[in-house]
Structure 1
Amino acid sequence: MYKIYIIEDDANIASLIVEHLTKYQYECHTVQQFTHIIEEFNTIQPHLVIMDINLPTYDGYFWSRKIRQLSTCPIIIVSARVNDIDQVYGIENGADDFITKPFSLDVFIAKINGLLRRTYGEYALTESSSITIANTTLNPDTVRLQAEGNESLLTLKEMQLSKLLFEAFPNVVPRQKLLSAIWDDETFVEENTLSVNIGRLRRKMEAIHSKLEIKTIRGLGYQLVEAGR
């Protein structure tokens, strides 16, 4: 049974989420102390986290960053904030998806099911051998990119995007292929989710001094190339 950690300060919303997820045989854990989220996370060892943004003491962006330092566990942000910048900021701080309140429970469940399948189920990464191009190695076993003695921990979606780009090198990976390979149903994908994840992956490659870069091929998709070529 998959365990889901719900970090939400509105008791009514948290109760609604628990009630609905329990119908789908998920084991739900709600936050007990907002100052001990990391301790609770380590104790529960959830398969997925549902994170609100407006929380006591520190916001959801802060806790997403903290969790991402420890784990590649999928994080879904659920918030009443509807601005694009909030969604972008959420993904840049480690979230895998962003759902705005009020939300459809069917879409909510579809996103959770999809992320869990991608992470642990039938669509999970099965190839564990590392791939090295130029000075950069993608290691699925440790979910990291490595270059010049540096390394960067990837999120699930960053790992999946990297794997597709590395395997296709030096060819272009069509945008549609990236969407269909990473999300079960593109209907549920926010418009800028893919571009934000690509942007975050670019910055992680730069941070480890990779000689690779991801080029945007307008009208087609993305291409992994050696810098300067």
Structure 2
Amino acid sequence: MYRILIVEDEISITDTLKNRLKKYGYECHAIEDFKSVLDVFQEIEPHLVIMDINLPYFDGYYWSRKIRKISTCPIMILSARMSELDQIYGIENGADDFITKPFVMDVVVAKINGQIRRSYGEYAKTAERRLLHVGNTTLNLDTVRLSTPEQEEVLTVKELQLCHMFFEACPNVVTRQQLLSVIWDEEGFVEENTLTVNIKRLRKKLENVQSSLELKTIRGIGYQLMEKDT
């Protein structure tokens, strides 16, 4: 089930979005503490964010920039003001699409479905193999899931890309430079700890599904996916 984080301070709008999107099978979470948007984002790891612009404390552009430093998940800006200049500014601050208030719910759902399909489904369609198996663990490129016979975890876009690289390379070492250049395109735009944070999350998900695999750090070089020592 794909997770959506709603960052909107008008309760009526939040409730409308949550109630409708749940009917389409989305798992919805809403921000309550508007000082902690990034913390909640990192805890929930949503697949898409609906971001209002006018928020308490910091505006939606601020939070979009913060999210974009650690994730490429789609961000849809929700605002009553959507001039061409606003849209340009939104894109420059990490937005992928826009919803103008007042909105038509069917249009919102269509936009969300499109972003989810492009961000997750299209990546799977371009893969030659849809299921990758290493040890007791399966990476499903269609459903964006990491699983074993015991458990499964839904991955974020970055986790999917990382996992795909490690599964394809296993048991060879994948260098940090390879990961950064393929996943983030331009190494210069990535903070030093961004890859480390994503690796930590992927390790946690391997642990959660009781995988027989582990991601070892090869100091000064990169990471290696391999079977745990028995």
TM-score (norm 2): 0.57
User: Root-mean-square deviation (CA), in Å?
Assistant: 2.5
Q: What residue is the counterpart of 2:31 in the other structure?
A: 31
Q: What residue is the counterpart of 1:14 in the other structure?
A: 14
Q: Highest Rg: 1 or 2?
A: 2
3-state SS in 1 of match to 2:110: helix
Task: Say yes or no: does 1:152 pair with 2:181.
Answer: no
3-state SS in 2 of match to 1:151: helix
Give unpaired runs (5+ residues) of structure 2: 128-160, 166-176, 191-230
3-state SS in 1 of match to 2:189: strand
Q: Which moved more, 1:95-104 or 1:51-60?
A: 95-104
Work out the CA distance in 2 between the residues paired with 1:33 and 1:48: 19
Query: Against the structure 1 CA distance between its residues 125 and 16, is the aligned structure 2 distance closer, same or farther, given a 3 Å change threshold?
Result: same
Query: Against the structure 1 CA distance between its residues 138 and 77, is the aligned structure 2 distance closer, same or farther, given a 3 Å change threshold?
Result: farther
Structure 1 runs, 4 residues or longer, greater than 3 Å off: 122-130, 137-142
Query: Against the structure 1 CA distance between its residues 29 and 141, is the aligned structure 2 distance closer, same or farther, given a 3 Å change threshold?
Result: farther
Work out the CA distance in 1 between the residues paired with 2:74 and 2:98: 11
Q: What residue is the counterpart of 1:115 in the other structure?
A: 115
Query: Against the structure 1 CA distance between its residues 124 and 105, is the aligned structure 2 distance closer, same or farther, given a 3 Å change threshold?
Result: farther
Describe how 1:92-111 pairs up with structure 2 within 5 A: 92-111=92-111
Query: Against the structure 1 CA distance between its residues 109 and 138, is the aligned structure 2 distance closer, same or farther, given a 3 Å change threshold?
Result: farther
3-state SS in 1 of match to 2:87: helix
Work out the CA distance in 2 between the residues paired with 1:139 and 1:114: 27
Q: Contact conserved, 1:2 with 1:46, CA < 8 A, in 2?
A: yes
Q: Contact conserved, 1:144 with 1:151, CA < 8 A, in 2?
A: no
TM-score (norm 1): 0.57
Q: Contact conserved, 1:119 with 1:125, CA < 8 A, in 2?
A: no
Query: Quick one: which amino acid aligns to residue 19 of structure 2?
Result: E
Give unpaired runs (5+ residues) of structure 1: 131-136, 154-229
Report the CA distance between 1:84 and its aligned residue. 1.4
Query: Against the structure 1 CA distance between its residues 67 and 77, is the aligned structure 2 distance closer, same or farther, given a 3 Å change threshold?
Result: same
Task: Say yes or no: does 1:69 pair with 2:98.
Answer: no
3-state SS in 1 of match to 2:22: helix
Query: Quick one: which amino acid aligns to residue 46 of structure 1?
Result: P
* Percent identity for Structure 1 against Structure 2: 54
Work out the CA distance in 1 between the residues paired with 2:123 and 2:53: 29
Q: Contact conserved, 1:91 with 1:98, CA < 8 A, in 2?
A: no
Q: What residue is the counterpart of 1:193 in the other structure?
A: none
Work out the CA distance in 2 between the residues paired with 1:138 and 1:86: 35
Query: Quick one: which amino acid aligns to residue 5 of structure 1?
Result: L
Q: What residue is the counterpart of 2:43 in the other structure?
A: 43
Query: Against the structure 1 CA distance between its residues 101 and 77, is the aligned structure 2 distance closer, same or farther, given a 3 Å change threshold?
Result: same
Report the CA distance between 1:82 and its aligned residue. 2.5
Report the CA distance between 1:95 and its aligned residue. 0.7
3-state SS in 1 of match to 2:41: helix
Q: Which moved more, 1:48-57 or 1:96-105?
A: 96-105
Query: Against the structure 1 CA distance between its residues 88 and 125, is the aligned structure 2 distance closer, same or farther, given a 3 Å change threshold?
Result: farther
Instruction: Give CA-to-partner distance per residue, 1:66-104, whole Å, 9 cap, x none.
Output: 000010111000110132111111111001011111111
Instruction: Give CA-to-partner distance per residue, 1:11-58, whole Å, 9 cap, x none.
Output: 000000001101101000000210011110011010100000000000
Work out the CA distance in 2 between the residues paired with 1:108 and 1:120: 18
Work out the CA distance in 1 between the residues paired with 2:182 and 2:33: 31
Work out the CA distance in 2 between the residues paired with 1:25 and 1:3: 9
Q: What residue is the counterpart of 1:143 in the other structure?
A: 183
